[in-house]
Structure formats: structure tokens, C-alpha cells
Amino acid sequence: MPPPARSPGYLLTTLANALGRVAAARELQWMKQALQVGLPEHVPKMSIDTMVARRARGEPLQYILGTQPFGLLNLLTRRPVLIPRPETEHWTIRLSQTIAPSRDTPVSLLDICTGSGCIPLLLCHLWPRGSVHAIGVDISADAVQLSRENASICGIPTASGSDACHQNVFTPVLGDIFDSATWSSRLLLPPFDVITSNPPYISQEEYEGLSPSVKDYEDPRALLGDPPDSVDQRGLSFYHRIAQLTAEMKLLKPGGFIAFEVGEKQAHDVRRIVQDEAGIQDTEIWQDPWGKERVVVGRS
């Protein structure tokens, strides 16, 4: 026999002890709504008591409910794939308004370290039909699988079919961007019109100080910006690698656009890497909604 259900007062108090009263009331409401509407297929059936117990132990709400809004999309979320963040959503929308592809002037887009696929999928959703073919590369099989499922629930095809010119297409690719074999894939054919990336950018020192709700649930590979043997431990290794690839493999078309999300206080270092190592001089820095320098953008 299942244990008797806890009273609403008990659930609220349990959550409030972990989150504070205001957040607890709000999240309890969301949990009830999610149960009423029905959880996504990939989320095992559970009671509100289980949801509250998991949340009170520090698990992110998005992993419990299995979704996270991102622009107009409602994306699936699943451990250990990084939960899309609001700052990424903000600049992705801004980018969609900065570049204006059309069916007559379509663009190719490469999203490096694609995770849930949030960046290319939102762009595929916002740009006109038939105006973009996006490719997302990631080292994690969990991420590639989730990005494929996200494309499916967003109605974005993942293989170019006969009517591809009438649709926006997203192709997820499994690969390590530090491994040269990844770049010989027939799916990754440079040059691209647009390169986006929100790579891992947390230094080891910062990682130690992250909250358990991040460190215990999200893939360390999605967070740590430097291989352990890297001489420079400031979280910048992925930017150096992407800049090197851009220069050596001519990843970007002339007149092409890049947008790289950066961590706190990294914007000027990354801008220098983009200029000196990728050879893209025309750069600017975008702030996030909280006034932090968050994205380095550039035009070749």
C-alpha cells in the first residue's frame, strides 16, 4: 500500500525550509499544475509528495517536471544535460533579430556544444521556414539524444528531406570538438554563415563553489571550461579551440556572424581570443538582462 499523502501544509513547510516561503508557494503551484496537465512521456509517474521531497533535497525543478520554457518553446530537460538558462534565451532572441535570413537568402548555422539544442532550435523556430539549416555538435550522447527529442517536439526535422528547402532543419552530431576526427564528419561541412556557442566556461576554482543543485545534477562536462591538464585554468580553453578551428578550418564564411556566450568577467579575454586567434576584428559585447557582459559577437 502506498504511504498516505502528506497534507498541503506539510508539503509547503517542507519546501519552504529549503527554498523560502515565496519560492515554495510558487513552485508548489507549478508542481500541481504540471500534474494536472500531465508530465512529459520521459518523466516517470510520481506523486506531489515525491516531487516535493526531490526538490527539498536540492534537485532542480526542471529535472523533476521534465521541461523548461525557452522563448516560445517548451524544451524537454533530463539529467545530466544542462538546463537552458534565461541569459542564453535572451541573447538567442536578440541574435534572431540581428540576422535576417529568408528562404531566398538562407543561412547555415553551426552550434558548438549544443546540449539540449536550445540555441539552434529556438533560431529554427523564430526564423522563416526554409531559411536555416542548423547543426549542433556535442560530446555527450545524452545531450545529442535530448536535442533530437527536442527537435521532434518542436516540429523541426532532423534530416534534410526532399522538402528541406521549405523547412528549417536541425542536425545533431555526436563529437568532441578537441578531436580532429569530429571535423572530418561529412555532416560538419564548413564554411558556415553563423557560428553560435555556449561552451563550458567555469574554472575549476569556481566549480568547487557551485551550489549542490548544479554540481550534483548537471554534467561536469557541461560546466568545466578547461581540461585538467590545461596550463591556463581560467575557463577559456573552449574559446581558444573554437578560435583555432575558425582560423585553421575556415569555419566561418566571409561576412559570417559568431556569437559566443561567456562567463562572468571573461568577455574581454574572449573578445581578444576572437580577434587575435580567429582573426575576427569587428566584435562587440552584449549584456544580459542583469547588466552582465554575457556574449561576444563578431562579424568576419
Instruction: Using CB under 6 A, list all residues that contact ligand SAM.
Output: 82, 84, 88, 113-116, 118-119, 137-140, 143, 176-178, 198-200, 219, 221-222
Measure CA 20 to chain center. 28
Pick 143 or 278: Cβ nearer ligand SAM? 143
Task: Give the other-Cβ count within 10 Å of 166's Cβ.
Answer: 10
| Min dist. Cβ of residue 4 to ligand SAM (A) | 40
Residues 6 or more apart whose Cβ sits within 8 Å of residue 149: 42, 76
Are 117 and 77 in contact, with CB atoms under 8 Å apart?
no
Pick 30 or 178: Cβ nearer ligand SAM? 178
End-to-end Cα separation, the chain, in angstroms: 65
Pick 31 or 224: Cβ nearer ligand SAM? 224
Secondary structure element (H or E) that encloses residue 11, with its range: helix 8-19
Cell 550522447 -> residue: 141
| Min dist. Cβ of residue 90 to ligand SAM (A) | 12
| Min dist. Cβ of residue 75 to ligand SAM (A) | 9
Angle CA 143–145–150, to nearest 5: 90
Residues 6 or more apart whose Cβ sits within 8 Å of residue 269: 234, 236, 239
Cell 500541481 -> residue: 32
Pick 24 or 137: Cβ nearer ligand SAM? 137
| Min dist. Cβ of residue 150 to ligand SAM (A) | 11
| Min dist. Cβ of residue 34 to ligand SAM (A) | 21
| Min dist. Cβ of residue 82 to ligand SAM (A) | 4
Pick 164 or 217: Cβ nearer ligand SAM? 217
Please give the residue whose beta carbon sits closest to ligand SAM in the complex: 115
Minimal CA–CA distance to 250: which of 280, 276, 281? Answer: 280
Pick 22 or 181: Cβ nearer ligand SAM? 181
Pick 138 or 193: Cβ nearer ligand SAM? 138
Separation CA 243–CA 156 (nearest Å): 29
Residues 6 or more apart whose Cβ sits within 8 Å of residue 114: 120, 136, 137, 138, 143, 144, 147, 172
| Min dist. Cβ of residue 298 to ligand SAM (A) | 18
